[in-house]
């Protein structure tokens, strides 16, 4: 998530506490300073500036610069920082940058990228170009190829290979030495994992515990033995849930044999949660998720993401035309009936959307599962009965006054009660049912629910009408 | 987020990689074992079991147990684990537990709770009961009272006081000793903050850097000096964005003078993101956010959260009745016109919801801000024109065949194009406008957009009709 921070802050209504220190560094001022330094070609001052600028900010300042300028910056950056900056760019931009840099520098930066991000990049670049990049880093290539086998949204796809594991028989002192040696390759040493001679994960302890432990204590005795880990094939949503539940900073990833393959770090998990949430929002809005940021997306790809659902819903909704046509005689008899059609189906849609969004979220975070189906539907019908009664009363009074016809008023009132009952039940049940079929509950979107409730709402309305008014 | 993990997994369609090792520990088996140990009153075995069971799992196993059993467990737990277990309970349950435990034990556990959670608890308990609890921990009371001043959704409200800061003039060796001493109180020592003699935050370095540094290096030289921090009054959304942007594990919180007050840790940030997302979902569904988990909420509180919006939208929507009544003559002249009313306003609603949810998310994560208003509306109109043309063609053909009246077909077709244009624009603009007024963009929900587009859709429809059909 690399939108300009200033934007991010501006985007939020509540602007309390926005200050230079909050933002860490002023992007605009930084951009000017950077531009100035590049022109003066003052390498020392430039190096200093780059040294103290966080990569995320630097990447943002570089966005506007020419390719030459960018190359100049990458050459001045140490490879570590260069890797961080590169990771914030789009896949295409990363590839272009890598190609334009001197091979040794490109290789150095690639070697510093976190393997999971590198694997995602190569996956996105596709075969010929991926090979071209891998050729630059023969040493790491094998590991990256291994990572590329895992689906992007699996534990394997978001894990990194840099993990510090010590044999269980070491003493704390020797373990610290071991860590010190391994630390340079590892992405995080906040947890030290313990493995047996077979390479199976058997324990975990924090660097803190290790540092604070008596030097001669044995690792096996210091470690927590029932270490929480995740299978390499697990879905990233499951990974995120483990982080939330156990307040983890890193989660070891294992194969069927319990061998330690890598770790997922918490910063990747925050990205996963945001990615999944964005996907849910798109589906709730009745459209395909957008891969790129909204303003970055081409108009045509926005169209492509929306046209499918819109057409499908349109066709489904055209059914309402047939229903109304079927009741043409009733409409001609009491034209006033048609006045309340939008109100009625609108209310049904709103009640349905309320139930649907509530359940989509409840299922998304695992508060509710298929086992609760009966309970959920039961509560929703109770809620709907209460909401429906209130609105029915309002509808009766309003429709009666509006048409000076208590019969129509009664029809509308009863219909409102009935449609709210039906719509809420459908809205609550649909997310659970689609999940039951292995789909994302979020496909049970407000538009879908509304469309379904429109047709049923009309049928109810006219049945009530013929019953009350005999038309 | 403390829903049972088993549920959480079941809730997700994709069940790849669910396994004992994934879940860390089998809750059901654990519950039986726990029950067995409690009955056998085998203190040693119980202590061992508690030792190796993660607090989140333990809390879940305890949920069903009697108060006596629970007390028995808390007495067997060490205070650290006890605090973690307590933190997973509802505020009421926490209070009950604290009251039923022996005072010294309760005090010990409270002393181990992270201050931010404790402050939230006391805030929720309200004055008399909060004082009662604070009386148990006179030593910590002052700090907790301080935390309680900050709004729950501010940096101050989610920060913790346990933070390790070393004076900038120390050597790495002496700093490590300093950290070792301070570590016991600190919630995290993953970052070591550096302060000047005035207590102002002047730098940061990781424990890793400190441990791996030459013993005689000066902290001031090892530290990164432009440390990213957040103002104590900043909103928690802003805090979350800083964590995402800079991949932080902890973020120092400072006052106006730049003095270090505490830190926010990444585990709290994950909770913040989930909390804010849940709130967005509720608003997108046109309702007030629910404070408690869905299945835990009483039916009446579910009603209270929904009735307001539903009534408001109902009243707004009743306007459509007046519009239709105003065009009664047109309806009587061409009854077929009424057949397409639900289809038309339904399509408008769907197009509007698509644009609204897309923009709500884009603003929520800061991809889009008020400055982009013109650009956004421009793109949406382009998208809508494309979508509208396609659907208009379909609508024209379908309506013509359906009514055998090209005039009606043309009316419906043109109306569809027009309403999609209007609805998409409203849907895109509304989230930006409400944000402009300091509201959460998510209040521009699908139901609200649909309701607004219903009325405008009808007006467009009948204007087109009178123009094409002269009715």
| pLDDT score at A152 | 86
Does residue A120 have a pLDDT over 90?
no
- How many Cβ contacts (< 8 angstroms) between chains A and B? 506
CB B105 within 8 A of CB B75: yes
Beta-ladder partners of A167: A195
Residue B13 has pLDDT above 80, yes or no: no
**More confident of the two residues B45 and B7:** B45
B286 to chain A: closest CA residue: A354
Is the CB of residue B313 less than 8 Å from the CB of residue A350? Answer: yes
Confidence band, pLDDT 50/70/90 cuts, at residue A20: very low
Distances (CA, A) of B100 to B74, B89, B97, B121: 11, 15, 5, 17
Provide the Cα torsion B233, B237, B240, B246; round to 10°.
Answer: -80
Q: How confident is the model at residue A5 (pLDDT cuts 50, 70, 90)?
A: very low
Write the pLDDT tens digit of every residue in B455-465.
999 999 999 99
What confidence score (pLDDT) does residue A183 get?
A: 67
Cα B379 from Cα B402, distance rounded (Å): 34
| ipTM metric | 0.81
The CATH code that applies to domain A2-149 is 1.25.60.10
pLDDT at B64: 79
Contact call for residues A88 and A2 (beta carbons, < 8 A): yes
Q: Closest approach of chain A CAs to the CA of B286, in angstroms?
A: 6
Q: Where are the alpha helices (DSSP H) in A334-405?
A: 336-339, 341-364, 373-403
Chain A residues in contact with B375 (beta carbon < 8 A): 295
Contacts of B368 in chain A (CB under 8 A): 7, 11, 294-295
The pLDDT value given to residue B23: 43
Pairwise CB contact (< 8 Å): B183 & A212: yes
The reported pLDDT for the residue numbered B11 is 28
Provide the 8-state DSSP code for B14: -
Q: Which of B2, B4, B6, B8 to mutate to test the interface with A (most CBs of A within 10 A)?
A: B8
pLDDT score for A185: 57
Q: Hey, are the CB atoms on A351 and B246 less than 8 Å from each other? A: no
**What are the chain B neighbours of A271 within 8 Å (beta carbons)?**
244
Going by pLDDT thresholds of 50, 70 and 90, the confidence category of residue B12 is very low
Q: Do A347 and B277 touch (CB under 8 A)?
A: no
Architecture of the domain delimited by B165-274: Roll (3.10)
Residues making up chain B, counted from first to last: 471
Could you say which of A267, A281, A358 has the minimum Cβ distance to residue B357? Answer: A281
Q: What is the pLDDT of residue B410?
A: 95
A161: left (phi over 0), alpha (psi -120 to 50) or beta: alpha
Taking the C-alpha atoms of residue A386 and residue A296, their distance in angstroms, rounded to an integer, is 45
Tokens of A45: 């001052």
CA distance A196 to chain B (A): 17
Q: What is the phi/psi pair of residue A165, to 5°?
A: -130, 135
Angle at CA of residue B213, ends B209 and B216, nearest 5° = 140
Query: How are the residues of chain B apportioned to helix, strand and coil, as percentages rounded to the nearest 5?
Result: 70, 5, 25
Chain B residues with beta carbon closer than 8 angstroms to that of A270: 243-244, 266, 269-270, 273
Alpha-carbon distance B452 to nearest alpha carbon in chain A (angstroms) = 11
B188 has pLDDT over 80: no
Three-state DSSP state, A202: strand
Partners of residue B237 in chain A, C-beta under 8 Å: 12, 14
Q: Considering Cα of A371, then A374, then A379, then A381, what sign does the dihedral take?
A: positive
User: What's residue B10's pLDDT?
Assistant: 27
Is pLDDT of B25 > 80? no
- 3-state DSSP assignment of residue A205: strand
Question: Which tens digits make up the pLDDT trace of B264-283?
Answer: 988 889 989 988 898 888 88
Residue B34 has pLDDT above 60, yes or no: yes
Percent share of chain A, pLDDT over 70:
93
Exposure string over A301-332, b if 16+ CB within 10 A, otherwise e: ebbebbbebbeebbebbbebbebbeebeebbe
A119's tokens: 């694997």
For domain B294-469, give the CATH number.
1.10.357.20
Mean of the per-residue pLDDT values for chain B? 85
Selecting from A224, A235, A343 the residue whose C-beta is nearest the C-beta of B12 gives A235
B342: which 2 tokens? 């639900």
Residue B202 is given by DSSP the state E
Q: Is B167 helix (H, G, I), strand (E, B) or coil?
A: strand
When the pLDDT of each residue in chain A is averaged and rounded to a whole number, the result is 85
Strand partners, A254: A231, A260
CB B330 within 8 A of CB B407: no
The whole-angstrom separation of Cα B466 and Cα B471 is 5
Residue B4 has pLDDT above 90, yes or no: no
Angstrom distances, CA of residue A338 to CA of A328, A447, B262, B356, B415: 10, 22, 63, 29, 19
Chain B positions touching A394 (Cβ under 8 A) are: 311, 314-315
Query: Looking at chain A, which residues constitute the CATH 1.25.60.10 domain(s)?
Result: 2-149
Distance CA B247, CA A249 (A): 12
Q: What are phi and psi of A321, to 5 degrees?
A: -60, -45
Take residue A199 and report the two structure tokens written for it.
């390479």
Determine how β-strand A230-231 pairs with β-strand A250-254: parallel
Subunit contact B249:A190, Cβ cutoff 8 A: yes
To probe the interface with A, which of B230, B242, B350, B389 has the most A CB atoms within 10 Å? Answer: B350
Which of B50, B153, B321, B409 to mutate against chain A (most A CBs within 10 Å)? Answer: B321
Query: Looking at A63-155, which runs of residues are DSSP E strands?
Result: none
A89 pLDDT higher than 90: no
* CB-based contact A402 B207, cutoff 8 Å: no
Q: What is the dihedral of CA B317, B319, B323, B326, to 10 degrees?
A: 150
Residue A19 has pLDDT above 70, yes or no: no
**pLDDT band for position A23 (cuts 50, 70, 90):** very low
pLDDT of B105 reads: 92
Domain(s) of CATH 3.10.580.10: residues in chain B: 165-274
Is A358's CB within 8 Å of B294's CB?
A: yes
Beta strand pairing status for B230-231 and B191-195? unpaired
Query: What is the DSSP annotation of A333-353?
Result: HTTHHHHTHHHHHHHHHHHHH
Residues in contact with B129: Cβ distance below 8 Å, sequence separation at least 6, in sequence order:
B95
Q: pTM for this one? A: 0.82
In chain A, residues with a C-beta closer than 8 Å to the C-beta of B236 are none
Positive or negative, the CA dihedral A177, A179, A185, A190 is negative
Specify whether the CB–CB gap between B289 and B302 falls below 8 A: no
Dist. CA B111–CA B46, nearest whole Å:
24
Least CB–CB distance from A342: residue in B310, B341, B399: B341
Q: Which residues of B touch A375 (CB under 8 A)?
A: 295
- Given a cut of 90, is residue A4 above it in pLDDT? no
Probe site for chain A from B29, B259, B446, B454 (most A CB atoms < 10 A): B446
CB-based contact A347:A341 (threshold 8 Å): no
CB contact under 8 A, B10 and A370: yes
Nearest to A22 among B231, B356, B371 (CB): B231
Coil, helix or strand for B262?
strand
Residues of chain B with Cβ-Cβ distance to A241 below 8 Å are 1, 5, 8-9
**Tokens at B337, concatenated:** 């016109």
Inter-chain CB proximity B357 and A282 less than 8 Å = yes
Read off the pLDDT band of B190 (50, 70, 90). Answer: low
* Contacting residues for A142 by C-beta, under 8 A, at least 6 apart: none
Distance CA A153, CA B351 (A): 30
- What's the rounded Cα separation, in Å, for the pair B161 and B144? 9
pLDDT (0 to 100) of residue A186: 55
Tens digits of residue pLDDT in A310-365: 999 999 888 899 999 999 988 888 888 999 999 999 999 999 999 999 999 898 88
Better-predicted residue by pLDDT, A236 or B364:
A236
Query: Alpha-carbon torsion A88, A91, A95, A96, what sign?
Result: negative
pLDDT in tens, B405-455: 999 999 999 999 999 999 999 999 999 998 888 888 888 788 888 888 999
For residue B234, give the nearest of A27, A7, A5, A22 by alpha carbon: A22
Lowest mean pLDDT among A190-194, B5-9, B405-409: B5-9
Is residue B17 scored above 60 in pLDDT? no
More confident residue, A456 or B17: A456
Residue A135 has pLDDT above 50, yes or no: yes
- Cα A120 to Cα A152: distance, rounded to the nearest angstrom: 7
pLDDT at A341: 92
Residue B5's CB: how many other CB atoms inside 10 A? 25
Q: Residues A391-435: pLDDT tens digits?
A: 999 999 999 999 999 999 999 999 999 999 999 999 999 999 988
Query: Between helices B67-76 and B55-62, what is the axis angle to 10°?
Result: 160
Tell me the two tokens of residue A286: 């009745």
First to last CA, chain B: 59
Question: Rounded to the nearest 5°, which phi and psi values hold at B162?
Answer: -70, 100
pLDDT tens, position by position, A393-403: 999 999 999 99
B231:A309 CB<8 A:
no
- Cα(A138)–Cα(A111) distance, integer angstroms: 10
**Which tokens is A62 given?**
């570089």
More confident residue, A292 or A452: A452
Q: Which pLDDT score, from 0 to 100, does residue B6 have?
A: 27
pLDDT at B184: 61
Whether residue A343 and residue B155 make contact (CB cut-off 8 A), yes or no, is no
Closest A-chain CA to B355:
A285
From the centroid of its chain, how far is CA B220?
38
Residue A235 pairs in a beta bridge with: A154
Highest average pLDDT, of A19-28, A377-386, B36-45, B70-79, comes from: A377-386
Decide if A12 and B366 are in contact by the 8 Å CB cutoff.
yes
Q: What torsion, rounded to 10 degrees, do the Cα atoms B153, B158, B159, B162 define?
A: 160
Nearest beta carbon to residue A5 from set B54, B241, B281: B241
Instruction: Supply the pLDDT for residue A91.
Output: 86
CB contacts of A351 in chain B (<8 Å) are 306, 310
Question: Which pLDDT does position A126 carry in this prediction?
Answer: 87
**Chain B residues lying within 8 Å of A440, measured CB to CB:** 13
At B198, phi and psi to the nearest 5?
-85, 5
Contact B244 A24 (CB under 8 A): no
Nearest to A311 by CA among B420, B370, B46, B235: B420
Task: Pick A446's closest partner by Cβ from B54, B293, B446.
Answer: B446
- What is the location of CATH 1.10.357.20 in chain A? 294-469
Average pLDDT over residues A184-204: 78
Residue of A nearest to B308 (CA): A387
């Amino acid at each position: 998530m690399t939108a300009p921070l200033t934007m991010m802050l501006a985007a939020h209504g509540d602007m309390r506490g926005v200050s230079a220190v909050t933002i860490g560094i002023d992007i605009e001022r930084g951009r000017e300073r950077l531009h100035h330094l590049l022109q003066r070609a003052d390498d020392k001052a430039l190096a200093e500036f780059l040294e103290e600028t966080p990569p995320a900010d630097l990447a943002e300042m570089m966005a506007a610069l020419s390719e030459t300028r960018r190359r100049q910056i990458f050459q001045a950056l140490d490879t570590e920082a260069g890797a961080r900056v590169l990771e914030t760019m789009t896949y295409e931009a990363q590839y272009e940058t890598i190609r334009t840099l001197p091979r040794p520098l490109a290789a150095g930066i690639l070697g510093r990228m976190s393997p999971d991000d590198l694997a995602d990049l190569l996956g996105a670049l596709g075969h010929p170009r991926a090979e071209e990049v891998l050729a630059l880093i023969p040493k790491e290539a094998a590991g990256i190829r291994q990572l590329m086998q895992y689906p992007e949204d699996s534990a394997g796809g978001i894990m990194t290979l840099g993990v510090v594991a010590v044999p269980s028989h070491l003493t704390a002192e020797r373990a610290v030495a071991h860590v010190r040696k391994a630390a340079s390759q590892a992405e995080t040493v906040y947890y030290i994992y313990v493995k047996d001679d077979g390479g199976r994960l058997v324990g975990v302890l924090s660097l803190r515990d290790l540092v604070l432990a008596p030097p001669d204590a044995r690792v096996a005795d210091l470690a927590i033995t029932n270490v929480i880990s995740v299978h390499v094939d697990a879905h990233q949503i499951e990974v995120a849930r483990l982080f939330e539940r156990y307040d983890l900073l890193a989660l070891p990833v294992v194969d069927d044999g319990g061998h330690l393959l890598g770790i997922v770090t918490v910063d990747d998990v925050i990205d996963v949660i945001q990615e999944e949430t964005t996907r849910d929002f798109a589906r709730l809005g009745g459209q395909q998720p957008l891969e790129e940021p909204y303003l970055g997306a081409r108009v045509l790809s926005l169209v492509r993401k929306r046209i499918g659902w819109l057409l499908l819903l349109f066709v489904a909704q055209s059914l309402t035309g047939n229903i109304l046509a079927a009741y043409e005689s009733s409409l001609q008899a009491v034209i006033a009936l048609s006045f309340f059609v939008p109100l009625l189906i609108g209310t049904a849609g709103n009640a349905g959307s309320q139930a649907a969004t509530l359940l989509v979220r409840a299922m998304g975070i695992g508060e509710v599962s298929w086992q609760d189906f009966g309970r959920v539907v039961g509560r929703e019908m109770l809620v709907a009965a209460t909401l429906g009664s209130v609105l029915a009363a309002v509808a009766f009074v309003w429709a009666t006054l509006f048409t000076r016809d208590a019969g129509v008023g009664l029809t509308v009132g009863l219909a409102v009660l009935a449609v709210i009952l039906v719509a809420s039940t459908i809205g609550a049940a649909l997310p659970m049912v689609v999940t039951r079929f292995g789909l994302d509950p979020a496909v049970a979107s407000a538009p879908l629910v509304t469309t379904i409730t429109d047709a049923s709402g009309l049928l109810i309305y006219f049945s009530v009408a013929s019953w009350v008014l005999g038309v």
